[in-house]
Amino acid sequence: MTYPAGRTLSELEHNLAAVQQRIDTACRRANRDPSEVRLLPVSKTVDEARLRLAYRAGCREFGENKVQEAQRKAEALADLTDLRWSVIGHLQTNKAKQVARFASEFQALDSLRVAEALERRLEIEDRALDVLVQVNTSEESSKFGLAPSDVAAFVRELPAFSRLRVKGLMTLAIFSDDPARVRPCFVRLRQLRDQLREQLPDGTSMDTLSMGMSGDFELAIEEGATVVRVGQAIFGPRPLPDSYYWPDADQDSG
């Protein structure tokens, strides 16, 4: 798919409006209210100057895969006090310190070791963090995330981490242009969410389903997405292949 450039304020405003129109249209097809769907602009590789333009165009949060890149941008844009940062990529425990300092949300929780590391650092920072549990709905070996069969037991362990506010689930669908292959990943996450809701621990929410990217978020909305992670449809094509952004797995997130 060819994505429009998003390098000027007017181009970014145009792209954001086009994405919002796609969201609205998908919601109408699914008999949903567009206000139920949160657009998370994915800003990996986008420089700070363009992020300031995106802020002027109305963006108040950005999603980043790489912790160091995200932290650098958060520090550079610290004067924009209402800007939120969501870390959407796999996290190593030694990066928990940075995430605890600046992020408002972490969308890729898939191990108790990471939960423990985040909890320790959040205690030091006296902060809390919204988290989503990442699920490998396509069951591809190249992807991070829990197997669907392991999610219920994992979620039962999370109330032990009082600084982590569990809000729902996240997934990356199989990377394909064929809706018949992509849609089942979204269906699986929604069905898993519905099952989990029947036995949720106290203090745990399953209201958020983060699924869908630039090329497939309409399908995700039709299947219940409440967050769509959109990068290239807003900021234009990236200069490097997707494998660069996921050095440990061949996957993308926006």
DSSP 172-207: -----S-HHHHHHHHHHHHHHHHHHHTTPPTT----
Q: Which residue shows structure tokens 């992670």?
A: 229
- Check residue 114 and give its pLDDT: 98
How does pLDDT run across 39-71, given as a tens digit for each residue?
Answer: 999 999 999 999 999 999 999 999 999 999 999
DSSP 246: -
- Residue 168 to residue 131: CA distance in whole angstroms: 7
How does pLDDT run across 177-223, given as a tens digit for each residue?
Answer: 999 999 999 999 999 999 999 999 988 999 999 999 999 999 999 99
How does pLDDT run across 100-159, given as a tens digit for each residue?
Answer: 999 999 999 999 999 999 999 999 999 999 999 999 999 999 899 999 999 999 999 999
Residue 253 has pLDDT above 90, yes or no: no
Q: Which residue has the higher pLDDT, 238 or 35?
A: 35
